[in-house]
Chains A and B, each alone.
Chain A
Amino acid sequence: MRKKEIAKTSCCSSSGRTSKPISILSRNEHPVIKSTTGEITPANRLDHLMARLGVKREQHLIESGIYAMGNPTKDSPVFVSANYTLSFDALRSALHGNDCYILVLDTKGINVWCAAGKGTFGTDELVRRIEAVGLNDVVTHHTLIVPQLGATGVNAREVRERCGFKVEFGPVRAADLPEYLKTHHATEEMRRVRFTLSDRIVLIPVEMTNLLIPMLITSVILALAGNYTAAAAIITAAFTGLVLFPILLPWIPSTDFSTKGILIGGLTALPFALYSLYGMTDEKLWLRYGWIVAYMLVIPSISAFLALNFTGSTTFSSVTGVKREIFTYMPKIAWMFGIGIILIIVLTSLKLLGGI
């Protein structure tokens, strides 16, 4: 209570996140308290959009440290978050209108759950950050509200032993905080992680950024070779695995991702098979059968592979299960794909070389 210190630090330029630095009371170490609001500005929304599109994936971060929201006192609650803009902004917008502190850990711009899995949102970082910002001088109480999903990295008991702060695991979703704060009790529903249609849809662009370009290149090559149907088949396979699969995930029969991928890929391959049989009437019959087999192998194998890749984005697949899936299906998927691609190359070359 001796000296007022003006925070000099400003956070990333793009925002209403850190508008005006505020004065804080500090002792010898002068912890710097940054200021934030519960408002989501258009600049924030643009940043969220870019993060969702996978543009500069590791650069959607804010400075770690302690932030004040509203006019907090020494009794105000302290919430813990990751330094990923989507995590931090979900928290501060949920807390809009509250007077509180937000302790932001350095998770290298990764969200709470993934960072907790890696250990960067973890006991060590939390204890280090509490000490670095001098949290003991900022608030008089000793309670931190940590998102439930942070529990994968944060050992509440150890935090208390090491620095005296009691970790209270809040709800999974920041949006449930206003309700939670009334009683400090999370309902079963608040404790359960979900994977709704909208949760899955927002993941589609990021999944696409990694795989779309190789798919497009393959497709262009096939189109240049004069086979527009095969080019369309590759695009269809990518669309099936990257767009249809995430959307339809809970409704596709079977439990495994690979089998779901094969089933839905088989379905989208059907039009191509039917076209080969009934549309390519000027071709020899054995060639038409060749194309049917090629499409029925390539499209499902691509969508199965993409489906298997989606395990990393879901909220429920276990390591044991994913490992088992890889061992069970990956060799089969690879064979299907290999044979199918060779067949496409052979059939296309035969056509190019003429003769048949």
Chain B
Amino acid sequence: MFNSYVSNTLEYDPELCINCGMCSTVCPHRVFCPDGNVAKLVNKKACMECGACQLNCPTKAIKVDSGVGCASAMMLAAVKGQKEVTCGCDGSCS
């Protein structure tokens, strides 16, 4: 209760990891850290679902539903009936 951020959509399969280090390089919240033979998921709840690790993982060992974590954008999209949530801009610059 009162913590909506305890879980998220980040999934990591160490079996597929080739230890390239890319996830720990790109993560802005240090969710992954290099460790021995495979990357280690050290702080899952800090994940903000930006998707940088998933995009740059060469073996698809990381999965996350990334998107805009912005309440007003989501509510606006819901009101307008848009499927995709984009931030700011009122759609004029997409």
**A interface vs B, CB < 8 Å?**
57-58, 108-110, 114, 116-118, 148-149, 151-157, 169, 172, 186, 188, 191-193, 254-257, 259, 308-309, 311-326, 328, 330
Contact = CB atoms under 8 A, between A and B. Distances in A.
Given A256-B4, A311-B70, A156 B50 contact: no
Contacts of A330: 75
Main secondary structure on chain B at its contact with chain A? loop
B16 to A, nearest CB: 15
Interface in B68-94: 68-75, 86-89, 92-94
A191 B28 contact: yes
A309 B87 CA distance: 12
A61 to B, nearest CB: 10
Interface in B38-76: 46-52, 55-56, 58, 65-75
B17 interface: no
A321 B87 contact: no
A330 B66 CA distance: 22
Given A152-B26, A154-B55, A316-B29, 6 more contacts: A118-B86, A148-B26, A157-B56, A192-B30, A256-B5, A312-B69
A53 to B, nearest CB: 16
A284 to B, nearest CB: 37
Contacts of A315: 28, 48
Given A255-B3, A318-B8, A151 B55 contact: yes
B25 A148 contact: yes
Contact of B29 (A193, A308, A313, A321): A193
A169 B26 contact: yes
A320 B7 contact: yes
A321 B24 CA distance: 22
B18 to A, nearest CB: 12
B28 A156 contact: no
A308 B73 CA distance: 11
A314 to B, nearest CB: 8
Contacts of A193: 28-29
A156 B22 contact: yes
Given A117-B50, A320-B65, A326-B75, A256 B3 contact: yes
Nearest to A193: B28
A92 to B, nearest CB: 22
A118 B87 contact: yes
A326 B76 CA distance: 12
A308 B4 CA distance: 12
14 contacts: A58-B92, A110-B88, A117-B67, A118-B87, A151-B26, A152-B51, A186-B25, A191-B27, A193-B29, A319-B66, A322-B74, A324-B4, A324-B5, A328-B4
A324 B87 CA distance: 18
A57 B92 CA distance: 12
B28 A319 contact: no
Nearest to A330: B75
A330 B76 CA distance: 13
Contacts of A117: 50-51, 66-68, 87
Nearest to A259: B2
Nearest to B7: A320
Nearest to A157: B58
A188 B30 contact: yes
B48 A118 contact: no
A90 B34 CA distance: 30
A317 B93 contact: no
Contact of B87 (A57, A114, A255, A320): A114
